Amino acid sequence: MTQFQAPSQKKLKDISLYINGEFVESNSQETFENINPFTNETINHIAAGDASDIDEAVAAAKRAFHGEWGKMKLDERLDYVYKIGDLIEEHSEEIAVLESYDTGLPISQTRKMIARSAKNFRFYAEMVKSHLYGEAYQVDDEFINYSVRKPVGVAGLITPWNAPFMLETWKIAPALATGNTVVLKPAEWSPLSANRIAEVINEAGLPDGVFNVVHGYGETAGAALVRHPDVPLISFTGETTTGSEIMKNGADALKQFSMELGGKSPIIIFDDADFDRALDACTWGVFSFNGERCTANSRVYLHEDIADEFIKKLKERVDRIRVGDPMDPNTQVGPLVHRNHYDNVKGYLELAEQESCEVYSGHVPAEHSQGNFVAPTLLLNADQHMRVVQEEIFGPVIAVMTFKDEDEVIEKANDVRYGLAGYVWTKDMQRGHRVAQAIDAGMLWVNSQNVRDLRTPFGGSKHSGIGREGGFYAFEFYTETQIIHVAMKDHYIPQFGK
């Protein structure tokens, strides 16, 4: 493992596209700037792909699907998938550094994300080997019907900047393991680790065209991928409004979509909860990943009997959270990914004041004024109707509210358009199950922080998504089920016109 290098000494070369096994400039020769969120200085320039580059990447992926990759024996294909996981592990420290440098996520957290990314490849290689099979349906002694699961073709993967490498591998691993080929369009604000995955896959020696990366803007490169007639699958993670636009753009071509969208998830803390553990989970759940976390518990509902004490402790935590250089292993909250996003989150803090919240913020050390820092913030006296309670802020900000009883808190928890995650803290396990099941969201945790087993379904309901990723659920999306009906006897066939 290489040791991490201080960002100030890093001179990174410009980044190109990866198409058909080669690193190439975009056809237009256009580039965009990639900026360090800690200093707001330019890191490097990124090739900006457009529709013509997408065309080339899709053509390469299609050739590979019908060629060497499509014809490859399963074990050989899975060996490549394992190899990608091994190489990620080998380069994990260096990838974690790139990720923190590009996104502002604290290095202690990106290290864990990269370790999980390597596991994604091994997990799906194992899943495919042991669990990707069809079924047989015997119909008396007349027919045998059997199903097979086949890869679909070229998968278009469109990813966000908030946990880029982890989320990219989450899609790439099942797509490749099930036998598809891939065109990835990563987020504009986090291109470094997407380029690194192309280098890793290149090093793993996959056949040309199996995996391609086209950097570029959503409205050009992303939209071209969505509209492309030779791309039957689009797996998208990002904002709800973008997801809706993508579905409209792909409707004419009747694409299959997997949609992992925004969230505004509640954490409900009853008066009998393990106070200290609930406090740890609440603080971590909203301030880790700089608050740029889709499953963040960005609304806390406190039972009125414990609210004062809990808020007092939350304030103490917010005061003490270590805000600083993302490369410092002691940093707990780093700068937000981009100045535009910083302005957006700051705008929500102003709105919170206009909406009569008491805005209580921690501290950003004065020497970090160059970075996109937003201090961990509590929105006290928040109320259900406020925009800061209804809308996803996607920063280190939590709206704090109280409740009297179970029915009231369930109604409030459900009173948003999102339904991604939810957290319930109580020692009364009957109530724990009851409340968890009453929350309209895809994923609930009871007396637990956001711990996830890769076998379980991941995804949201309402405006937080369509479909599920993870475990078997990925097979539903990345494979096509085909049923073959075979007669074993001469059965009756109507003889029209005889």
Residues in the site for ligand NAD, rule: CB under 6 A?
158-162, 167, 185-188, 218-219, 222-223, 226, 237-239, 242, 245-246, 260-263, 294, 392, 394, 420, 460, 464-465
Helices (H) and strands (E) in the chain, counts: 16, 22
**Least spacing, CB of residue 430 vs ligand NAD, in Å:** 30
Nearer to ligand NAD, 78 or 420 (CB): 420
Angle at 148 between CA 147 and CA 151, to 5 degrees: 145
Evaluate whether 265 touches 299 at the Cβ level (below 8 Å). Answer: yes
Nearest residue to 235 via CA among 297, 293, 178, 296: 178
**Least spacing, CB of residue 242 vs ligand NAD, in Å:** 3
What is the C-alpha to C-alpha distance for residues 316 and 36, in angstroms, rounded to an integer? Answer: 30
Element (H, E) at 203: helix 191-204
**Least spacing, CB of residue 149 vs ligand NAD, in Å:** 24
Nearer to ligand NAD, 96 or 167 (CB): 167
**Least spacing, CB of residue 138 vs ligand NAD, in Å:** 40
DSSP string, 97-118: HHHHHHH---HHHHHHHHHHHH
Q: At 209, list the tokens.
A: 């065209």
Nearer to ligand NAD, 362 or 467 (CB): 467
Evaluate whether 325 touches 4 at the Cβ level (below 8 Å). Answer: no
Nearer to ligand NAD, 303 or 341 (CB): 341
Nearer to ligand NAD, 89 or 188 (CB): 188
Nearer to ligand NAD, 69 or 287 (CB): 287
Nearer to ligand NAD, 60 or 187 (CB): 187
Chain centroid to Cα 134, Å, comes to: 29
What is the C-alpha to C-alpha distance for residues 295 and 264, in angstroms, rounded to an integer? Answer: 8
Burial class, 125, CB count within 10 angstroms (exposed 0-12 / middle 13-18 / buried 19+): buried
User: Is 260 one of the annotated active-site residues of the chain?
Assistant: yes
Nearer to ligand NAD, 99 or 188 (CB): 188
**Least spacing, CB of residue 89 vs ligand NAD, in Å:** 23
What is the C-alpha to C-alpha distance for residues 99 and 106, in angstroms, rounded to an integer? Answer: 9
**Least spacing, CB of residue 2 vs ligand NAD, in Å:** 28
Question: Which member of 89, 260, 292, 392 is catalytic?
Answer: 260
Q: At 274, list the tokens.
A: 């393990």
Evaluate whether 113 touches 165 at the Cβ level (below 8 Å). Answer: yes
Nearer to ligand NAD, 80 or 123 (CB): 123
What is the C-alpha to C-alpha distance for residues 18 and 273, in angstroms, rounded to an integer? Answer: 51
**Least spacing, CB of residue 259 vs ligand NAD, in Å:** 8
Nearer to ligand NAD, 193 or 242 (CB): 242
Number of Cβ atoms within 10 Å of the Cβ of 392: 22
**Least spacing, CB of residue 25 vs ligand NAD, in Å:** 19
**Least spacing, CB of residue 198 vs ligand NAD, in Å:** 15
**Least spacing, CB of residue 450 vs ligand NAD, in Å:** 12
What is the C-alpha to C-alpha distance for residues 180 and 190, in angstroms, rounded to an integer? Answer: 25
What is the C-alpha to C-alpha distance for residues 121 and 209, in angstroms, rounded to an integer? Answer: 19
What is the C-alpha to C-alpha distance for residues 99 and 62, in angstroms, rounded to an integer? Answer: 30
Question: What amino acid positions are annotated as catalytic residues?
Answer: 260
